[in-house]
Chains A and B, each alone.
Chain A
Amino acid sequence: MERGGSVDRAAERGTRWAYRLAWVLWAVTFPLIWMGGFVTTYNAGMAVPDWPNTYGYNLFLYPIESWLKTWDIFLEHSHRLIASAAGFVSIALMVILWRTGSALLRRLGVVVFILVCVQGIIGGLRVLGQELLLANLHGCVAPLFFGLVTGVVVVTGHAIAGPDQSKGLGEWSLFRGGAAWRFLLVMIIYTQIVIGAQLRHLPPTLSPQWAFFWTIVHLIFAGLIGVALGIVWWRDRREDRSKLLWLKILGAIYAVQLTLGLFTWVVNYNFPIWFLNYFLAISYTVVHGGAAQALVTTAHTATGSLLLAAGVACWLTAGLDWSPRNVRVPSPG
Chain B
Amino acid sequence: MTSARDVVSLFNMIFAGSEISLTRASRGRGSAGRKSVTCAVLLVLSLSLAGCSKPRPVEFRLNTEGRDPASISPAQREAIVSMLTDLFGTPDEPRVPPGVHLDLELLRRAAGPTGRDFSGVERGLYRKHCAVCHGISGDGAGPIAAMLNPYPRDFRYGIFKYTSTVLGAKPTRQDLERTIRRGIPGTGMPSFAPLPDEDIQALIEYVKYLSIRGETELYLLRLVVDENELLPLNKESVIDEGVLPVAEAWEMPEKDPEHWVVKPQRPHLDEAQLKAAIERGRLIYQEPRSQCVKCHGPEGRGDGEQTDLYDDWNKPKKGVTDEQTRELSRWFSLPLQQLKPRNFQEGIFHGGGRPEDIYLRIYVGIKGTPMPAMGPAPGQPGILTPEEIWDLTFYVLSLARKTDPKK
A residues at B contact (CB < 8 Å): 43, 45-50, 55-56, 70, 72-73, 130, 133, 136-137, 140, 175, 180-181, 183-184, 187-188, 190-191, 194-195, 197-198, 202-216, 268-277, 281-290, 293
Contact = CB atoms under 8 A, between A and B. Distances in A.
Given A195-B49, A204-B143, A180 B36 contact: yes
A208 B50 contact: no
Interface stretch (B51-59, B94-102, B236-244, B371-379): B51-59
Given A284-B186, A288-B190, A202 B143 contact: yes
B57 to A, nearest CB: 7
B245 interface: no
9 contacts: A70-B120, A73-B116, A187-B46, A272-B1, A272-B149, A274-B1, A283-B346, A284-B186, A287-B194
Contact of B115 (A49, A140, A293): A49
Contacts of B46: 187, 190-191, 194-195
B329 interface: no
Interface in B163-210: 182-195
B145 interface: yes
A179 B281 CA distance: 70
Given A48-B116, A204-B58, A272-B149, A140 B50 contact: yes
Contacts of B182: 285
B114 interface: yes
A205 B47 contact: no
Contacts of B333: 207-208
B298 interface: no
Best-surrounded residue of A184, A198, A209, A282 (most CB of chain B within 10 A): A209
B50 to A, nearest CB: 5
B36 A190 contact: no
A101 B145 CA distance: 56
Given A72-B116, A187-B42, A204-B58, 10 more contacts: A47-B116, A180-B35, A181-B35, A195-B46, A197-B50, A210-B18, A268-B190, A283-B185, A283-B346, A286-B183
Contacts of A133: 50-51
B6 to A, nearest CB: 9
Contact of B135 (A204, A213, A276): A204
A97 to B, nearest CB: 24
B127 interface: yes
Nearest to A197: B50
Interface in B1-22: 1, 3, 7, 10-11, 13-14, 17-18
Contact of B53 (A130, A191, A206): A206
A187 B43 contact: yes
B38 interface: yes
A289 B141 CA distance: 22
Nearest to B118: A49
B55 A203 contact: yes
Interface residues of B, number: 75
Nearest to A190: B46
A46 B346 CA distance: 41
B347 interface: yes
B190 A287 contact: yes
Nearest to B348: A283
A285 B14 contact: no
B141 to A, nearest CB: 6
Contacts of B55: 203-206
Given A205-B58, A210-B143, A289-B195, A281 B348 contact: yes
Given A187-B43, A209-B10, A285-B191, A49 B58 contact: no
Given A184-B39, A284-B186, A211 B144 contact: yes
B185 A284 contact: yes
Contacts of A43: 114, 128-129
A163 to B, nearest CB: 22
Contacts of A211: 143-144, 146-147
Contacts of A191: 42-43, 45-46, 49
Contact of A140 (B47, B53, B114, B189): B47
A212 to B, nearest CB: 5
Nearest to A210: B53
Given A206-B55, A288-B194, A269 B39 contact: no
B132 A202 contact: yes
B212 interface: no
A204 B136 contact: yes
Contacts of A190: 42-43, 46
B340 interface: yes
